[in-house]
């Protein structure tokens, strides 16, 4: 797609959008032109020039059911992002475009992530920059920090432990897959792993986890251990106080992860991760 010349972007502005063909019929025909102004109070979080809200687009002709999405919008961005987009419009400098690239990169590694429904940017006129990203809601899934206590209460002890072992193996696989590729989530809390409940109700062996919120994702080849400690320290910290999650589960995760990641000096790595988790815990208490 053409983004015009620098002068075009500076004086008149330009925009681009991508819409997933699988969901195009569910979206209004004028979706891209109105996406920055439509409103929803459903699960709305808004601050500092950005917002996230849930939108339901009711089924159009030929569609079997409504489409539910989480729409992230960025209205005011930094001068560095605005100027970079003006100079290099294909550089994915806005948060919406950057997270789209992150999602597709991680998906290509075999990590389940939410399906992107639509994404776009408005570049210019002058130094303006806005972006949006719509991802399909995980309607059959819930975040692990909320679902584990419910499963602990509803399942007998042996069934719950067996299910946890399968969940832990998949968490370790997802984490190790990204880290061995030099990619780090930087927000790897338990609440960002979503478990598909419909699948385990049909078959407890069918554990499907989806990783969300990849806006901070980054690649680090030099001193990758620092970012490993951050990711796994966040994950270890986030199980504190979650009913159904135990220190034994953390050890089981570590056993799988260190093998999948091919870690050298695992004892030293584990010590640094525990130190990082302790810092998060101390900061949270203060």
232-255 pLDDT, tens digit per residue, is 999 999 999 999 999 999 999 999
Q: Residue 65: what pLDDT? A: 80
d(CA 176, CA 258): 8
The CA distances from residue 133 to 25, 50, 97, 158, in Å, are: 18, 12, 7, 41
Residues 145 and 276 reside in one and the same domain: yes
Domain that holds residue 63: 6-136
For residue 1, is it within any domain? no
Give yes or no for residue 138 having a pLDDT over 60. yes
Q: What is the mean pLDDT of residues 208-224?
A: 95
For residue 70, is it within any domain? yes
Here the CATH number for the domain that contains residue 230 is 1.10.510.10
Task: With beta carbons less than 8 A apart as the criterion, state whether 38 and 55 touch.
Answer: yes
d(CA 161, CA 219): 34
Residues 6+ apart with CB under 8 A from 88: none
Q: CA end-to-end span of the chain, whole Å?
A: 50
Domains contained in the chain, number: 2
- Beta strands of the chain (E only): which ranges? 14-19, 45-47, 50-57, 67-74, 116-123, 129-136, 141-143, 183-184, 193-196, 209-211, 218-219
What integer best gives the mean pLDDT of the chain? 94
Residues 127 and 10 reside in one and the same domain: yes
Task: With beta carbons less than 8 A apart as the criterion, state whether 116 and 133 touch.
Answer: yes
d(CA 249, CA 168): 7
Residues 109 and 50 reside in one and the same domain: yes
38-93 pLDDT, tens digit per residue, is 999 999 999 989 999 999 998 666 556 889 999 999 999 999 999 999 999 999 99
For residue 181, is it within any domain? yes
| Residues 15, 19, 25, 28, CA torsion sign | negative
Residues 31 and 105 reside in one and the same domain: yes
32-44 pLDDT, tens digit per residue, is 999 999 999 999 9
d(CA 26, CA 110): 27
Residues 107 and 213 reside in one and the same domain: no
Q: What is the pTM of this model?
A: 0.93
Determine phi and psi for 113, rounding to 5 degrees: -135, 165
């Amino acid at each position: 797609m053409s983004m015009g010349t620098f002068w075009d972007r500076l004086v008149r502005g330009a925009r681009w959008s991508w819409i997933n063909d699988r969901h195009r019929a569910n979206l209004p025909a004028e979706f891209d032109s109105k996406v920055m102004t439509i409103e929803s109070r459903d699960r709305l979080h808004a601050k500092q020039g950005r917002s996230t809200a849930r939108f339901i687009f009711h089924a159009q002709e030929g569609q079997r059911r409504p489409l539910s999405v989480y729409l992230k919008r960025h209205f005011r961005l930094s001068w560095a992002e605005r100027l970079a987009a003006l100079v290099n419009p294909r550089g994915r400098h806005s948060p919406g475009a950057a997270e789209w690239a992150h999602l597709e990169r991680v998906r290509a590694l075999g990590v389940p992530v939410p399906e992107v429904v639509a994404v776009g940017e408005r570049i210019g006129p002058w130094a303006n920059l806005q972006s949006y990203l719509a991802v399909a809601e995980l309607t059959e899934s819930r975040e692990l920090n909320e679902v584990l206590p419910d499963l602990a209460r509803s399942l007998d002890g042996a069934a719950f432990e067996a299910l946890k072992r399968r969940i832990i193996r998949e968490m370790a696989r997802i984490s190790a897959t990204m880290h061995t590729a030099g990619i780090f989530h930087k927000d790897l809390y338990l609440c960002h792993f979503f478990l598909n409940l419909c699948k385990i109700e049909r078959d407890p062996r069918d554990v499907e986890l989806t990783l969300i919120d990849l806006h901070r994702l980054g690649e680090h080849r030099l001193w990758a251990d620092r970012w490993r400690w951050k990711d796994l320290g966040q994950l270890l910290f986030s199980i504190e106080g979650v009913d159904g999650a135990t220190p034994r589960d953390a050890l089981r995760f570590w056993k799988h992860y260190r093998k999948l990641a091919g870690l050298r000096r695992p004892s030293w790595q584990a010590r640094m991760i525990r130190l990082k988790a302790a810092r998060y815990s101390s900061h949270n208490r203060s």
